[in-house]
A and B are shown apart, each in its own frame.
Chain A
Amino acid sequence: MTRLASSFWRKSPGAREGQRRSPPSPDTGAALLELDDLSVAIAGKPVLRKVRLAIAPGEIVALTGESGSGKSMTALAAMGLLPPGARTEGAIRLAGRDLITLGDRALCAVRGAEIGMIFQEPMTALNPVQRIGDQVAETIRIHAPRTPRAEVLSQAARTLARVGLPAERVPPTRYPHELSGGQRQRVGIAMAIALRPRMLIADEPTTALDVTTQARILGLLRRLVQEDGMALMMITHDLAVVADMADRIAVMNEGRIVEEAPTTRLFREMRHPYTRALFEASRHRASLPPRPAGEPLLQVHDAYRSYALPRTRLLGSAPRHEAVRGVSFDIGLGERVGLVGESGCGKSTLTRAILGLEPLQRGSITLDGRDVATDPAARRRMQVVFQDPYGSFNPRHRVRRLITEPFHLLDDPPKGAARDDAVAEALEAVGLDPSVADRTIHAFSGGQRQRLAIARALIIRPDLLIFDEAVSALDVRVRARILDLVADLSTRFGLAYLFISHDLSVVRGITDRVMVMQAGEIVERGPTDAVFDAPRHAYTQTLMAAAPRLPEIGQDEPVA
């Protein structure tokens, strides 16, 4: 099917050669997309400063940097999709034609046909009430309105097959909510490449996906670039993702490209200190002095939880999804344990069950012998830090009130001066000044918010902390500092923690023991280094192989 589709599609690039409106001008050389001293200001605030970047056909150029560095703005500028009120200077040339001078009608003709774009969030990037086949077909129909409907739909089906969604497995009549995250991202790719654009922009295309899915999506993008001779601008915050994929890497900071070089040379030389800092932070490991596990603290015994799924027949019982299937493990006093697995493996259900928020249908979870679901004394000794620090704080309350929330678990919470002392102590423990206690949450950066979340968890001096994807939304440099903080706190207070993450490299640096979860079961467990160095279970091996890796610094060749 895929092959058939490709042979059909092969006709068009040749045909397009004749359609090129203007040949590339001599000074642009072979560049297809060329940003020439591109500056953008939004509401008077500069977001891009004199960005120069050229991408040739068939070339993969990665744009990397932290949030707010301007990488997404560069992409949106190239698409002509900057927010209203943006002021642009310089030039954006696509095959010699300056897109800045084009009106919206002309730009609409370029978008989707000559430049395609893929976005980060496959969950929200698709229209939830339209069939996927129709959404892909729209790209074709909008640029060639006279094409007969049947022809458009079969073209759409061929494009879907080409990105790995053949009609016999994933019919084009499906709606987005019936697909997995990886499948939705494939639909996003199909929409972008349906007309075989010469330029493809991918904005964090795999950030929201699991590692194994990420590896497959990256492979697909590489194949499409090769087959179509497309130029690909790949935006990512994760250097490891593009290390063995990009021809060149441009590093952005505060709206500027601070360093740009072929991938091999960039990793070898790292001329700019910012590049080096990013690289170091990406592979940062907190120093974790070994600590023998104490008495068992948390004991999970044969935990089982299933959910009813929607009925597929009018009569008869509804099918059930077994989220957690008889999981058992212990965490000792002061022990640092990691839990890794992909989305849907049962991590979240298990976490909620440990917190006493999810009733089990079988088995038991106890903290120091007390049932977590029924005994409030157990809840007192355990706290949690979630992924989204902003969403877990009431924006109208001040820090003092926010971080003292867990006091309601205590029978006799500290009052007056003792309460102020507790607030100051918790804030100092996470490296914040006690004077911030009277601010509200919007005054803080993402990293500071996560520190506040940790302060809130620490304030009742728990024995066990649960970190649920607690660093996944943070930039690499901030993440490195938070990991150091976690390691430091565990050393100082003898804290035990369960560190849950889909990111293997993070778990490796911060835990003594690790458990790998798949389809509701723990398939492998052991000392962290042993599991990472010599994974025994096939699934663990797949995970390790799929995880993107940074090349060793100073090495001549990146790991290919």
Chain B
Amino acid sequence: MPLDPGVARPYRAAMLAYAVKRLISLAISLLVASAVIFAVVEIAPGDPARFMLGINAQPDTVAALRAELGLDVPKWQRYLNWLGGMITGDFGTSYTYRTPVAQMVADRLWVSLPLALYALTLSTAIAFPAALIAAARRGRGPDVAVMGATQLGVAVPNFWFAMLLVLLFAINLGWFSAGGFPGWSDPLAALKALTLPAIALALPQAAILARVMRSSLIDVLGEDFIRTARAKGLSMRQALWRHGVRNALIPVLTILGLQFAFLLAGAIIIEQVFYLPGLGRLIFQAITQRDLVVVESVVMLLVFAVIMVNFAVDLAYAAVDPRLRRRA
């Protein structure tokens, strides 16, 4: 059906105004976050130059290194240099490895980002059908089974799942390798290496997602418009599919956004279990080695990712629910 121009124009304008407002608040959030991150990392005790050269270093050697690392200028200027560098893609040089941070982060991102997306896809693929079945058969066998399983999924930590998966699929069955990452030169092998970690990450997330979606669906099923749909001749299942799911999606989107942000950085333990060179391990190492430039840059990158994900979730709300498009 063609969109009526009289309706569409104010609608698109409202949607655009909404997006612009979200973008402005996004930029402000990023600026505030960068200042906070810089301040916190600067306050942390320990001089990186001294740390790198060891305790027996000569003061003039330390001073020379400080100058080389750009640590000798006033703090506000270092903040501006750091900020300007990040905008132009120059994340500085790692104190420890003496390589550009941008390159290090990019390498790790090629592991962490696919892993997060993989886990998110899996958790959605598990959670949605489980929630639909549970909501449709509320209080009966399938619902009880799903609720029991999700209880377990929420309660058991993901590294425990990871160990079980390694035991079963890597050691006993030998279908997957127990750890390591072969790189993306062979995409299939790379995917295979990410499969067990992704499952381990996805299971607890799927449990939470399924519970949220189930209760959201049950709320929606009690709505008047579901009764209207039944009066039109839809079966319960059709009413659930055609009218329930989209209306139940708002709280689910919120959870999905939070989970994606967590998956990007929160996979430290899983990366450790599977020996994956991901962002989580990078930041962990950088902290223990007082590699401030790397810490600052990775944390800033993660903040950026979280804010972008939230922005995407905000836009998704408006796409799902036409009523929100007005709330510019």
The residues of A with any CB-CB pair to B shorter than 8 Å are 79, 81, 104-105, 108-113, 116-117, 119, 121, 124-131, 133, 138-139, 142-143, 153, 171-175, 177-178, 188, 191-192, 310-314
CB-CB under 8 A from A175, the residues of chain B are: 322-323
Binds A, one of B11-19, B69-77, B85-93, B178-186: B11-19
CB distance from B136 to the nearest CB of A (A): 13
CB-CB under 8 A from A177, the residues of chain B are: 322-323
If the complex has contacts A111-B230, A138-B232, A175-B323, are A127 and B225 also in contact, measured as CB distance less than 8 A?
Answer: yes
10 shortest interchain CB distances as A-B pairs: A112-B233, A171-B4, A124-B224, A112-B232, A117-B231, A312-B10, A111-B233, A127-B225, A175-B322, A139-B232
B 5-30 binary contact with A (CB < 8 Å = 1; else 0): 01111100110110010000000000
The reply to whether A128 and B14 form a contact with Cβ atoms under 8 Å apart is no
| B5 to A, closest residue via Cβ | A171
User: Roughly how many angstroms separate A560 CA and B14 CA in the complex, as a whole number?
Assistant: 49
The reply to whether A111 and B247 form a contact with Cβ atoms under 8 Å apart is no
- Among the listed A79, A139, A310, which residue makes an inter-chain contact with B327, where contact means beta carbons less than 8 Å apart? A310
CB distance from B210 to the nearest CB of A (A): 22
CB distance from B241 to the nearest CB of A (A): 12
If the complex has contacts A105-B235, A129-B247, A139-B233, are A313 and B4 also in contact, measured as CB distance less than 8 A?
Answer: no
The reply to whether B321 and A125 form a contact with Cβ atoms under 8 Å apart is no
The reply to whether A112 and B231 form a contact with Cβ atoms under 8 Å apart is yes
CB distance from B102 to the nearest CB of A (A): 36
The reply to whether B224 and A121 form a contact with Cβ atoms under 8 Å apart is yes
User: Roughly how many angstroms separate A195 CA and B197 CA in the complex, as a whole number?
Assistant: 54
CB distance from A24 to the nearest CB of B (A): 22
If the complex has contacts A126-B225, A172-B1, A173-B1, are A79 and B14 also in contact, measured as CB distance less than 8 A?
Answer: no
Residue from B1, B227, B323 with most neighbouring chain A CB atoms (10 Å): B1
- Among the listed B4, B6, B17, B320, which residue makes an inter-chain contact with A314, where contact means beta carbons less than 8 Å apart? B17
The reply to whether B235 and A119 form a contact with Cβ atoms under 8 Å apart is no
The reply to whether B13 and A312 form a contact with Cβ atoms under 8 Å apart is yes
- Among the listed B13, B225, B230, B328, which residue makes an inter-chain contact with A81, where contact means beta carbons less than 8 Å apart? B230
If the complex has contacts A108-B233, A126-B225, are A173 and B3 also in contact, measured as CB distance less than 8 A?
Answer: yes
User: Roughly how many angstroms separate A113 CA and B231 CA in the complex, as a whole number?
Assistant: 10
If the complex has contacts A121-B224, A175-B323, A314-B20, are A127 and B229 also in contact, measured as CB distance less than 8 A?
Answer: yes
CB-CB under 8 A from A310, the residues of chain B are: 14, 326-328
> Could you show 14 A-B contacts with beta carbons less than 8 Å apart?
A81-B231, A108-B234, A112-B234, A125-B225, A128-B247, A129-B246, A129-B247, A133-B1, A139-B232, A173-B1, A173-B7, A177-B323, A178-B7, A314-B17
CB distance from B222 to the nearest CB of A (A): 11
Name 15 extra pairs, CB < 8 A, besides A119-B231, A125-B225, A310-B327.
Answer: A81-B227, A111-B232, A112-B233, A117-B231, A125-B227, A127-B247, A129-B246, A129-B320, A129-B323, A139-B233, A143-B233, A175-B323, A191-B232, A310-B326, A313-B13
Chain B interface: which size bin?
A: 35 or more
CB-CB under 8 A from B61, the residues of chain A are: none
The reply to whether B235 and A108 form a contact with Cβ atoms under 8 Å apart is yes
User: Roughly how many angstroms separate A116 CA and B232 CA in the complex, as a whole number?
Assistant: 7
CB distance from A177 to the nearest CB of B (A): 5
CB-CB under 8 A from A153, the residues of chain B are: 1
Please report which residues of chain B, range 253-268, place their CB below 8 angstroms from some CB of chain A when the two chains form the complex. Answer: none
The residues of B with any CB-CB pair to A shorter than 8 Å are 1, 3-4, 6-10, 13-14, 16-17, 20, 223-225, 227-236, 238, 242-243, 246-247, 320-323, 326-328
CB-CB under 8 A from A124, the residues of chain B are: 223-225
User: Roughly how many angstroms separate A313 CA and B328 CA in the complex, as a whole number?
Assistant: 11
User: Roughly how many angstroms separate A79 CA and B8 CA in the complex, as a whole number?
Assistant: 38
- Among the listed B7, B14, B230, B234, which residue makes an inter-chain contact with A311, where contact means beta carbons less than 8 Å apart? B14
| B322 to A, closest residue via Cβ | A175
If the complex has contacts A108-B234, A142-B233, A173-B7, are A119 and B323 also in contact, measured as CB distance less than 8 A?
Answer: no
User: Roughly how many angstroms separate A288 CA and B104 CA in the complex, as a whole number?
Assistant: 86
User: Roughly how many angstroms separate A17 CA and B168 CA in the complex, as a whole number?
Assistant: 67
- Among the listed B231, B235, B323, which residue makes an inter-chain contact with A192, where contact means beta carbons less than 8 Å apart? B231
CB distance from B15 to the nearest CB of A (A): 10
User: Roughly how many angstroms separate A207 CA and B230 CA in the complex, as a whole number?
Assistant: 22
CB distance from A276 to the nearest CB of B (A): 34
- Among the listed B8, B14, B243, which residue makes an inter-chain contact with A130, where contact means beta carbons less than 8 Å apart? B243
The reply to whether B228 and A128 form a contact with Cβ atoms under 8 Å apart is no
CB-CB under 8 A from A126, the residues of chain B are: 225, 228
The reply to whether A188 and B1 form a contact with Cβ atoms under 8 Å apart is no
The reply to whether B323 and A311 form a contact with Cβ atoms under 8 Å apart is no
If the complex has contacts A127-B243, A128-B321, A173-B1, are A79 and B231 also in contact, measured as CB distance less than 8 A?
Answer: yes
CB-CB under 8 A from A111, the residues of chain B are: 230-233
| B323 to A, closest residue via Cβ | A177
- Among the listed A112, A127, A142, A173, which residue makes an inter-chain contact with B4, where contact means beta carbons less than 8 Å apart? A173
CB-CB under 8 A from B327, the residues of chain A are: 310
CB-CB under 8 A from B231, the residues of chain A are: 79, 81, 111-112, 116-117, 119, 192
User: Roughly how many angstroms separate A139 CA and B229 CA in the complex, as a whole number?
Assistant: 8
CB-CB under 8 A from B14, the residues of chain A are: 310-312
| A126 to B, closest residue via Cβ | B225
CB distance from A7 to the nearest CB of B (A): 23
User: Roughly how many angstroms separate A139 CA and B233 CA in the complex, as a whole number?
Assistant: 7
Residue from A119, A174, A310 with most neighbouring chain B CB atoms (10 Å): A310
CB distance from A146 to the nearest CB of B (A): 15
The reply to whether A142 and B238 form a contact with Cβ atoms under 8 Å apart is yes
CB distance from A86 to the nearest CB of B (A): 14
CB distance from B126 to the nearest CB of A (A): 25
| B230 to A, closest residue via Cβ | A81
User: Roughly how many angstroms separate A172 CA and B6 CA in the complex, as a whole number?
Assistant: 12
CB-CB under 8 A from B243, the residues of chain A are: 127, 130
The reply to whether B232 and A119 form a contact with Cβ atoms under 8 Å apart is no
CB-CB under 8 A from A138, the residues of chain B are: 229, 232, 234, 242
Residue from A116, A129, A131 with most neighbouring chain B CB atoms (10 Å): A129
CB-CB under 8 A from A192, the residues of chain B are: 231-232
User: Roughly how many angstroms separate A112 CA and B225 CA in the complex, as a whole number?
Assistant: 14
| B326 to A, closest residue via Cβ | A310
CB distance from A23 to the nearest CB of B (A): 23
User: Roughly how many angstroms separate A111 CA and B232 CA in the complex, as a whole number?
Assistant: 6
